[in-house]
Amino acid sequence: MAKIANQQRAFNWPFGKKNYLIFGLGLVSIILGYITLANTAVNPDPLDESWGQVFLTLSPALLILGYCVLIPISIIIGGKQDDTTEQSE
């Protein structure tokens, strides 16, 4: 009966502070990517030095950084290391 009680332990969330920090940086990157994407009103006049071309280049880079790099890394990397449960068994 004691063995069953040990198996019904509380669920420990595997993510730590580092995971949430990287996930938050990913969300900030995605939000900035969409903000810069909204500011890509490119004027066809070649003499107009607008920020549209810079934003048009920057926004996909920020979105790829957020969606394809930071968010997956925040899920994959090791979170909390709970050594006490391994030692007690």
pLDDT digits (tens, 9 = 90+) for 77-89: 987 665 444 444 4
Nearest residue to 17 (alpha-carbon basis) of 25, 28, 9, 8:
25
- For residue 43, how far is the Cα from the chain centroid? 33
pLDDT at 25 over 60: yes
The pTM is what?
Answer: 0.71
Rounded to whole angstroms, the Cα distance separating 69 from 73 reads: 6
pLDDT averaged over every residue in the chain? 81
pLDDT of residue 11: 77
pLDDT over threshold 90, residue 63: yes
